Amino acid sequence: MTILRSVALSPQPVSLGEIADLLDIDRSSAFRLAHTLRRRGFLACPPGRKDYVLGSSMWTLSHQYDWSNMLVKVAHPELKLLATQINETAHLAIREGKNALFIDSAHATHVIAVAGQTGELVPLYCTAHGKALLADADERELRAQFGAGPLQKYTKNTITSIKALAKECDQIKQRGFATDESEYGSEMRCVAAPIRLGNELIVGSIGISAPALRFGRELYPDYAAKVCQVADRIGQYLSGAETKP
């Protein structure tokens, strides 16, 4: 597993000597391990070379595994807890092209609740879930994703400038959560946080939504803290880390 992780994270093919040094073993032992992984398709050698890159078995496993279903299974208890704590609708989302896709939800007991359903797609750039998923993107990456702009305007609060979106993404990354001030749906507010793996890769977002009349701006600090705590716990579960009670 250490070999696979090292090869996966290396920008260049990894040599047998590097593998031996990594594991602090002799070259013959390192060769046997690498050769076994190569025979099983987990490692491969570029044409004409003796160093290693990831093999086809890794790509096959990655594409066949249902990551969104795994995320739902891990996160659903925390999603329900978040909805119960705040008594507002909570959603779990992943990135799907230029949109955020809701893959799970837990609903509040209010008569008037947010109607977003599992399977719904919402824009990345003007929703809290979407902006949480974009938190690590810089202006260059945003332009590659959305073009030069302007972005489609849904409400008077919608961000339509790539430069303004890049600035907001930087703020989200620093504070750990994103907000939606009626930017996609009128009179709605949302706060969401990115779910990160141990290596900081964003794999999803979790957050709560409510009508603006019930979700005043003064509630952002409390709601954001709860959302961030839940996002952090889910990230730790996914990374196999011990979580604090």
Question: Do the first three CATH levels of 2-64 and 67-239 match, i.e. the same topology?
Answer: no
Query: What Å distances lie between residue 64 and 20, 39, 214, CA to CA?
Result: 31, 20, 42
Fold of the domain built from segment(s) 2-64: Arc Repressor Mutant, subunit A (1.10.10)
Fold of the domain built from segment(s) 67-239: Beta-Lactamase (3.30.450)
Cα four-point dihedral sign 166, 171, 174, 177: negative
Question: Distance (Å, rounded) from C-alpha 96 to C-alpha 129?
Answer: 12
Residue 112 predicted with pLDDT over 80: no
Higher local confidence (pLDDT), 43 or 200: 43
pLDDT band per the 50, 70, 90 thresholds, residue 199: low
pLDDT band per the 50, 70, 90 thresholds, residue 245: very low
Average pLDDT over residues 142-159: 92
Task: Domain ranges for the chain, please list them.
Answer: 2-64, 67-239
**H/E element holding 2?**
helix 2-9
Residue 67 predicted with pLDDT over 60: yes
Question: Distance (Å, rounded) from C-alpha 129 to C-alpha 203?
Answer: 12
Residue 74 predicted with pLDDT over 80: yes
| Structure confidence at residue 148 (pLDDT) | 83
Is the peptide bond between 150 and the residue preceding it cis, with omega within 30 degrees of 0? yes
User: Three-state SS for 43?
Assistant: strand
Question: Distance (Å, rounded) from C-alpha 74 to C-alpha 53?
Answer: 30
Compute the mean pLDDT over every residue in the chain, rounded to the nearest whole number: 90
